[in-house]
Amino acid sequence: MVKADKKTDKKIKVGILGVRGYTGAETLKILLKHRKIESLKLFSTEEEGKVQDIIPSLRKYEIIEKVEKFSEEKVDGLDVVFLCTEQNKAHKIVAKLVELGIKTLVIDLSPDFRFKNKEEYKRIYGFEHAVPNLLDKTAYGLPELYREEVKEAEIIANPGCYPTASILALAPLLKYAKEKKIKVLDVIIDAKSGVTGAGRKALHHLTLGYLSENLKVYAWVEHRHVPEIKEKIQDLFGESPEILFSAQLIPAKRGILETIWVKLDQEPEDDLIRYYEDFTKENFFFDFWYEEFPDIYSTTGTNFIRVGMRKSKNYAILVSVIDNLIKGASGQAVQNMNIKFGFKENEGLELQPYFL
């Protein structure tokens, strides 16, 4: 459901930190066509200069003239800033903003605010959180399930790409199981991702020579997104099923496809379909394909998640696909911004898919 814009005249001032990275560049691309943006400021922690020099694909576009060297003082006066940074940076920036008394809304695309428990950051990411007192004021920015929390948040933590594809695909099924008092025994997630999910790291297994015509399992059950998936499923549905997860790199730039097997303690009834039909009616960017399984190409360049489902005895088999850089990152971040400021949820996100 796309809600009407009640504040048609409102426009906001926006900043993006990390514009040279994949998620920063995608966020910029989306916001350049967003009709509610009054002004855009671009920041980098490493360099400053003309946008066209830092992002060569923007040569001859008449947009923002420069990328500024970032400092927290420059955030003052902005309505919202998108932090498109690596882990262990955003929480330190927020700590400085608090120290300076700057109340700009932060939408963090890194993992620095995704957990409520401060101990999880040390256990999973290896750092002590700088502002643990703000974790309770942070909304987990999965809009389809945390829409009301996003509206009230001081900080919005954009979810990981794998959790987005997993949790949204599972949500109608978990709601069904909870209401029918059916036990969810196991969840097996076989996830495949394009290489942009790893960012711009110069790693051997991300090179064309290695990955072309190749596949690589790079994480098993220890992947750092698994605790995120478990925590949110417990939070939303009171369930704590066993989750087995594997992540694989595929020879593609972008996109995620997850095949998810869910074992129940009894065969699911036909009315499970209705839960998916209701969810797709309530959420514009959730697209249920019934028994047809979508492919990555059906979402490339869009903010949609597309999900197909089949049943076999006491199993439900789901295929979930997203563009990891849009619904898995920048598009979802803008979707959260739209909700927070009362804009139409799909404002700026009416993106056309890529075609051959």
Residues taking part in catalysis:
161
CB 328 within 8 Å of CB 256: yes
Q: Given the structure tokens 């015509």, which residue do they identify?
A: 213
* Cα gap 316→311, rounded to integer Å: 5
Q: At 115, is the secondary structure helix, strand, or coil?
A: coil
Q: At 329, is the secondary structure helix, strand, or coil?
A: helix
* Nearest alpha-carbon partner for 337 in 349, 353, 321: 349
The enclosing H or E element of 170 equals helix 161-180
CA torsion 285-290-296-302 (nearest 10°) is -20
CB 52 within 8 Å of CB 117: no
* 200, HSE (Cβ side, Cα atoms, 13 Å): 11
- Going by the DSSP 8-state scheme, the letter that residue 127 receives in this structure is -
Number of other residues whose CB lies within 10 A of the CB of residue 265: 11
How far are the Cα atoms of 191, 225, 247 from residue 217, in angstroms, in the given order?
9, 15, 6
